[in-house]
Structures are given as C-alpha cells and as structure tokens.
Amino acid sequence: MQRNTLALAAVVMLTAVALGAFGAHGLKPRILPDALANWHTGVQYQMVHGLALLFLALAGGQVDQRYLSFARLLFLGGVVCFSGSLYLLSTRELLGTQALTRVLGPITPLGGLLYMGGWIVLLVSALRRS
C-alpha cells in the first residue's frame, strides 16, 4: 500500500512540475492572464496534494489503512476533478472546447470538496487513534 501511494505521489508531483513549467513557458504567450492564473491554481493544488500523498505513504504505520486508502482516493479524485478541470477551463479558448465550460464549471468545486474530504478523513483518523 505505501509503495503504491509513494508511486502515485511521485506521478502527481512529476506532472505538477511539468504542467507548471508548461504553463509558465508554453501557455503564457497563448492564453489570457486570468486563464494562466487559473492554470497555476490547478498546479498549486495538485502539488500540495501530491505532498499529501507523500505524507500518506510515510504515515502508513501511524494511521489505519482504511483511512489512508480513503484519503488517497479523495486526494486523487481532487487532483482529477479540481486541477484537471482548471487545466481544461484555462485552455478552452486554445483548444476550442468552450462548449465544455457548462460541464467543467461544476466539476471544479466538486474537486475542492474531494480535497477537503481527504483532509477530514485524516482528521477523523487522528482523533480516533487518540
């Protein structure tokens, strides 16, 4: 379990760094400043939750595995929904996917709820271990 979580953390962090660099160097001249700011918000949240996944990999013996598995799932869902939707929304003009805005718009806050849910699961786990 910890090995898989560590691998997932590495993938999430690797892609966050790559997407951050792509935004700064590849997208900056092609999208509006507000869209670029949204892109960077997606990268920032992805990076923070990549670190959270790293924490989960290292906290294996400290927290019940059921809680770790659930928190991991919630954090990964948050990356896909929150950060992923921000990436797509930021580049909709460039990609010609403006029609997806009505679908992607509600997915972003859902991803935020998934992120928060992961932290709530860790909080509950910490309080139950006391």
Report pTM: 0.93
Q: Are 104 and 49 in contact (CB under 8 A)?
A: no
Task: Please count the CA atoms within 13 angstroms of the CA of 118 that sit on its side-chain side.
Answer: 24
Q: Is pLDDT above 60 for 130?
A: no
For residues 40-59, give the mean pLDDT.
Answer: 96
pLDDT in tens, 85-123: 999 999 999 999 889 899 989 999 999 999 999 999 999
Domain locations in the chain?
2-129
User: In the chain, what percentage of residues exceed pLDDT 70?
Assistant: 98
Q: Which CA distances in Å does 120 have to 71, 113, 114, 116, 127?
A: 8, 10, 10, 6, 11
DSSP state, 122?
A: H
Structure tokens that stand for 130 in this block: 């006391």
